[in-house]
Amino acid sequence: MALEVKICGLKTDEAVAAALSAGADLIGFVFFPKSPRNVSIDEAVRLAAPARGRAKIVALAVDPSDELVDALAAHLAPDLLQLHGHETPERVAEIAARSGLAIMKAIPVAEAADLAVVPAYVPHVARLLFDAKPPKTPEALPGGNGLPFDWRLIRDLDPGRPVMLSGGLDPSNVARAIEVTGVSAIDVSSGVESAPGVKDPERIAAFIRNARATV
């Protein structure tokens, strides 16, 4: 199978260069002020420029306003808009229609029952991303907490849309995650950082190398 790798939460030219050099298929920019990976739209436009035509551009937003959706579509024009909040299927449909962008909806998972919502989202999205449900602590983010979930929960899952795995992945466990789930797309953020929001080029390279070794 062809494996796609997404490096998310990029903030610097060096991080973008490292992801592209290592062979990332998708690069992600975070638009969520509470995140240490947050960037402005102007910053993302500049950072994304070298990646156009080399990797898909992903904009990650959390319960975005119409104004943010409009600005992202008009200025960044990402290949995918990743919705990582509490967006309902109806809101996802609205955002897809308003923006004209392909949508990837993140589904937080802690137990099998969390997958019951998947069919309601499928008609409105191009992809689904399964991430660990954030802990119930004030400082927890919607994603990028470095926590895995039980990968067996999505093994053999076929929702009718491409699936991406996220949550707690790093160079040491990515091969095992792919083996357990059988997914053909993976996403990493904190697992290739030396500090929150600070990407480590060596860890990025190791992550992609170890992932590619599985196929």
Question: Which active-site residues does the annotation give?
Answer: 8, 131
Tokens representing 118 are 């998947």
Q: How many Å apart are CA 90 and CA 93, to the nearest integer? A: 5
Q: How many Å apart are CA 4 and CA 23, to the nearest integer? A: 10
Cα radius of gyration rounded to whole Å, the chain:
16
Work out whether strand 198-199 and strand 193-195 pair parallel, antiparallel, or are unpaired.
Answer: antiparallel
Size of the chain, expressed as the number of residues it contains? 215
- What residues contact 75, with CB distance under 8 A and at least 6 apart? 41, 42, 45
Tokens representing 151 are 């990968």
Residue pair 130/109 in contact (Cβ under 8 Å)? The answer is: yes
The residue assigned the tokens 């298929």 is 25
